[in-house]
Amino acid sequence: MAKKRVVLTFPPELTEKPLTYHLVKDFDLAINILKAKITPGEEGTLVLELSNGSPQKIDEGLDFLVRHGVAIEPLSKRISLQEEECIHCGSCTAVCKSGALSLGEENRLVFDRDKCIVCELCVTACPMRVIKVIF
Amino acid sequence: MPMTKSYDEINEKIKTGKVVVVTAEEIIPMVEAEGPAKVLEKVDLVTTATFGPMCSSGAFLNFGHSDPPIRMTKVWLNDVPAYAGIAAVDAYIGATECSETRGLEYGGAHVIEDLISGKKVKLRAVSYGTDCYPKKEIETNVGLEDLNQAYLFNPRNVYQNYAVAVNSSDRIFHTYMGTLLPHYGNATYTTSGELSPLLNDPHYRTIGIGTKILLAGGEGYVAWEGTQHNPAQERNELGIPVSSGGTLALIGDLRGMKRDYLRAATYHKYGISLFVGVGIPIPLLDEEMVRQVAVSNKEISATVYDYGVQRRSRPALGRVTYAELHSGEICLNGKKIPTAPLSSLYKARKIATELKEKIQNGQFTITAPVAKLPYRDGVKPLREEV
Which domain-ending residue is among A74, A100, A119? A74
User: How would residue A2 be classed by pLDDT, with cut points 50, 70 and 90?
Assistant: confident
The half-sphere exposure of A51 on its side-chain side, counting CA atoms within 13 A, is 6
Among candidate residues B147, B173, B207, the one where a domain is terminated: B147
Domain that residue A31 falls in: 2-74
CA dist B133 → B65, B86, B312 (Å) = 10, 14, 46
Q: Closest by alpha carbon to B195, among B371, B13, B52, B18? A: B52
Nearest residue on chain A to B327, alpha-carbon basis: A103
Residue B140: how many CB atoms within 10 A of its CB? 12
A82 and A60 belong to one structural domain = no
Report pLDDT digits (tens) over A15-54. Answer: 778 888 888 999 999 998 888 887 777 888 888 888 887 8
**B343 Cβ contact partners less than 8 Å away, ≥ 6 residues apart:** A89, A90, B50, B51, B52, B53, B190, B191, B192, B275
* Residues A92 and A127 reside in one and the same domain: yes
- Interval B24-39: pLDDT, tens: 999 999 999 999 999 9
Domain containing B30: what range? 7-55+157-360
Peptide bond before residue B68 is cis, with ω within 30 degrees of 0: yes
Q: Is residue B377 part of a domain?
A: no
Q: What is the pLDDT at residue A135?
A: 73
- Tell me what pLDDT residue B22 has: 98
- Counted domains in chain A: 2
Q: Which residues contact B123 (CB under 8 A, 6 or more apart)?
A: B63, B75, B76, B77, B138, B139, B140, B141, B142
The amino acid that residue B214 corresponds to is L
CATH of the domain at A27: 3.30.70.260
Please report the pLDDT score of residue A74 as a whole number. 82
Q: Are residues A6 and A70 located together in one domain of the fold?
A: yes
Residue type, B361: N
Q: Does A86 touch chain B (CB under 8 A)?
A: no
Average pLDDT, chain A: 89
Q: Among A9-13, A93-97, B126-130, which is the least confidently predicted range?
A: A9-13
Among A28, A56, A74, residue at a domain's last position: A74
The structural domain count of chain B equals 2
pTM: 0.90
pLDDT band at residue B262 using 50, 70 and 90 as cut-offs = very high
Q: Cβ of B199: how many Cβ atoms within 10 Å?
A: 30
What pLDDT score does B113 carry?
A: 98
Give the end of a domain, one of A54, A74, A94.
Answer: A74
Do A82 and A51 lie in a common domain? no
Report d(CA B44, CA B283) in Å as an integer. 6
Query: ipTM of this predicted complex?
Result: 0.94
Task: Among A87, A106, A121, select the one facing B263 at the smallest CB separation.
Answer: A87
The reply to whether residue B268 touches residue A125, judged by beta carbons under 8 angstroms, is yes
Cβ contact, residue pair A88, B267, below 8 Å: no
Residues A57, A89, single domain; the answer is: no
Instruction: Say yes or no: A123 and A90 in one domain.
Output: yes
Instruction: Please check whether residues A67 and A98 belong to one and the same domain.
Output: no
B164 and B306 belong to one structural domain: yes
Question: Is there a domain that residue B101 lies in?
Answer: yes
Statement to judge: residues B203 and B258 lie in one domain: yes
pLDDT over 80 (residue B293): yes
B49-76: pLDDT as tens digits: 999 999 999 999 999 999 999 999 999 9
Q: Are residue A47 and residue A62 in the same domain, yes or no?
A: yes
Which of the four pLDDT bands, split at 50, 70 and 90, describes residue A114? confident
Predicted confidence band at A77 (pLDDT cuts at 50, 70, 90)?
confident
Strands (E), chain A: 2-10, 30-37, 44-52, 71-74, 78-81, 101-103, 109-111, 131-134
pLDDT at residue B349 is higher than 80: yes
Residues of A in contact with B266 (CB under 8 A): 127, 129
Question: What is the predicted pLDDT for the residue at B8?
Answer: 98
How far is the C-alpha of B211 from the C-alpha of B219, rounded, in Å? 11
- Kindly determine whether residue B174 and residue A124, on different chains, have CB atoms separated by under 8 Å: yes
Interatomic CA distance for residues B247 and B158, integer angstroms: 6
Residue B269 lies in a domain: yes
Say whether both A67 and A82 belong to one domain.
Answer: no
Tell if the CB–CB gap between B179 and A95 is shorter than 8 Å.
yes
Do A61 and A90 sit in the same domain of this protein?
no
Are A63 and A88 in a shared domain?
A: no
- Determine, yes or no, domain membership for B40: yes
State pLDDT tens for residues B121-144. Answer: 999 999 999 999 999 999 999 999
Which of B199, B196, B348, B358 lies closest to B277 in space, CA to CA?
B348
For residue B328, the number of C-alpha atoms closer than 13 Å in the C-beta half-sphere is 9
Give which of B337, B271, B270 is closest to B304, Cα–Cα: B337
Which chain A positions have a beta carbon within 8 Å of B186's beta carbon? 94-95
Q: Are residues A33 and A91 in the same domain?
A: no
